[in-house]
Amino acid sequence: MKYKVINDQLIIEIDKTTQGQTILEYFHSMHLSKKTIHLLRQNKEYLYNHQFVDYNQVLKKGDLPQIKAFEKGIDFECFDHPLDIVYEDEFLLVINKEPGMIIHPEGKQGQHTLVNVVANYYKKTNQNYPVRFIHRLDRDTSGLIMFCKCTLLQPLLDYQIANKTIKKGYYALIEGHLQRKEMTVNQGIARDRHHNQKMIVSKQGKTACTHFKEIKSNKQISLVSAFLETGRKHQIRVHLASLNHPILSDPLYGKPYPKMPRLALHAYYLRFFHPLTNQVITLQTKTPPDFCLQSEPISQH
């Protein structure tokens, strides 16, 4: 797909995959809300071959619809802190988050969070966009997290999240060894009525499925990978605890481990379809420096 970004405008050349649609059908294919479509039309924020037309106009191959795609204005305070950037283009930014940093401030207070660091990066690189993350990681979980710069394309990423076409993989250091080298846990997850911060496996809970694979181990602990079929709160942590192999230093479901001062969970893998080009993007990081078996660094076989 050929496209061009000019200021806050996205110009797309219609190809054989989108020809024959009306402008309205094209907007629906982008999963834009009715409100967004209404505002685009009301404010005349799209053009067809350089002029505003009704959204019943049929798109033809080679046409150049132009749409307001970017909102302007950094909307968080800036915090100067190093960023480990794994992927970036005009529309997306993927960060390897360090452990111990929360994603966004509680309420409107606080500025030492990841969105504040990204806001500072946008400012330094003259990218005047709101800061919008697509998914979350807990404070002590390190790893890949995606931000979307383009307001127009964010609904396509939200749709991928909802339909589980964004694939996420994790590394975890756990107590002991899995019963089998590869195993799948299908156990529903529900809130623990006796502890408002915890989740538990429950037949009455929401469906949850996690695939585990042991990668490396020593006598006491193992490095495992985990891939999610669902996205329940604390899913990996709860499923591993239900197997009696909690993650090292898990404050809710495990116990402290002297050589691991934080929750030993790292989001190392992210696979998604680019919201504009539909190209498959696959990103991976190495295991963090603090993931080690005694003094021996861990690496994937």
Catalytic residues: 138
Q: Which residues contact 193 (CB under 8 A, 6 or more apart)?
A: none
| Residue among 259, 124, 227, 241 nearest 189 (CA) | 241
Give the largest CA-CA distance in the chain.
70
| SS (HEC) of 3-47 | EEEECCEEEECCCCCCCCCEHHHHHHHCCCCHHHHHHHHHCCCEE
3-state secondary structure of 241: helix
2 φ/ψ sector (left φ>0, alpha ψ -120 to 50, else beta): beta
The label of the residue with tokens 């420096």 reads: 289
> Any long-range contacts for 27-34 (C-beta under 8 Å, 24+ apart)?
27/55, 30/152, 30/153, 30/155, 30/156, 31/155, 31/156, 31/158, 31/159, 32/152, 32/155, 33/155
The label of the residue with tokens 């294919």 reads: 29
**What's the number of CA atoms in the CB half-sphere (13 Å) around residue 154?**
20
Pair of tokens at residue 106: 């509680």
Cβ burial 56-79 (10 Å sphere, 16+ → b, else e): ebebeeebebbbbbbbeebebebb
